[in-house]
Amino acid sequence: MIDLLYIDDNPNDAQLLFRTLEKQRITSKYFLLKDGEEALEFFFGQLNDNNPLPMPKIVLLDIKLPKVTGFEVLQKLKSDHTTKKIPVIIFTSSNERQDLELAYQLGANSYLVKPDKYQKLKELVQYLGKYWLDLNEI
C-alpha cells in the first residue's frame, strides 16, 4: 500500500519532500514517478491489467513534467472511474491564476504552491498528513 505517490521530475524537490515526510513522521510509504508518461503507465499500463498495483492514498502532482504534462495526467486520472476517487493535489512552483483555475477545472482536489522557505515546507507536509492522509483513513 502506498500512502503518497509523488510525480515530479525534480529529484531535489522529491528528496526534500520525502525527507520532510519522514522527519515529521507522517509516512514512509511514498513512491516517486519522474514524468507524466511513467504516471500513466503506473495507473493505466498493460502490465497492471492482470496484476493491478495498489492505488495510492493520495497523489502529489507537479504541472511541468516532461513528455506528458501534469494537467494531462490529472485529466486522465479524473476521467477514469478506477482512479477518479483518488485525491490529487497539485504541487507546483507556479502561482499563476490560470494554472490554478485549470487545475480545479480538471478536478484537482487541492492546489499547493511549492514554498520558498523550508519552514513553510514543513508546515505543508503537516497539513498533507492531517487533511489528506488521515482523512483517507476514516
Partner 1 sequence: MLTSRSIPINEELQPAMIQNYGFMVVCSLPDLGIVHVSENIKDQTGKETAVLLNKPLSILLDPLTLTHLKETLNLTRFGFVQSDAGSEQPPQMPPDGEPDDTGVSNEERLSLVDAAQLWFEPTINGRNFYLSTQIIAQELILEFEPIRQGLTTAQFSHLLDRLSANIRQAKTLEALLQSTARQLRQITDFDRIMVYRFDAMWNAEVVAEAKRDDLSSYLGLRYPATGFPPKTRTFYHKYWTRMTVDVETEPVRLIPTVNPITLRLPDLSGSNLKAASEIQIKHLRTIGVKASLVIAITHNTKLWGLLVCHHHRPKFIDYSLRKLYQTIAQILSDHILLKSTTERLDYIYQIDTIEDRLFQQMTQNWDVVAGLIQFETTLLDLTECTGAAIYFDRELILQGETPTQAETLELIIWLNQAVAQNIYATNNLGSVYAPAKLFLNKAAGILAISISKSLGEYVIWFRPEIIQTVTWNYPPPASAESPKNDTQLNWQRSFDKWQKMIKNLSRPWQESELMAAGRLRENIINIVIHNANEMRALNQKLGKANAELEAFSYSVSHDLRAPLRNIEHFTEILLEEYSERINNDGLEILESILQSAQYMNQLINDLLAYSRIGQADKNYNHFDLLPIINQAKDTLIKTEPERKITFDIRPLPQVYGDRPLIRQLVFNLLSNAIKYTRPIKDSHIEIGGQQTETEVTFYIKDNGVGFKDKYVDKIFDVFSRLHTQELFEGTGIGLAIAQRIVQSHQGRIWAESQINLGTTFFVSLPLNQTKKDNQEV
Residues near partner 1, by CB under 8 A: 10, 12-13, 16, 19, 64, 93-94, 114-119, 121
Closest approach, Cβ 118 to partner 1, in A, equals 4
Closest approach, Cβ 16 to partner 1, in A, equals 5
> How many whole angstroms from its chain centre is CA 132?
11
Q: Which helix (H) or strand (E) holds 15?
A: helix 11-23
Nearer residue to partner 1 within complex by CB, 17 or 86: 17
DSSP string spanning 35-71?
A: SHHHHHHHHH-GGGTTSPPPPPSEEEE-SS-SSS-HH
Nearer residue to partner 1 within complex by CB, 93 or 110: 93
Nearer residue to partner 1 within complex by CB, 4 or 63: 63
Closest approach, Cβ 33 to partner 1, in A, equals 17
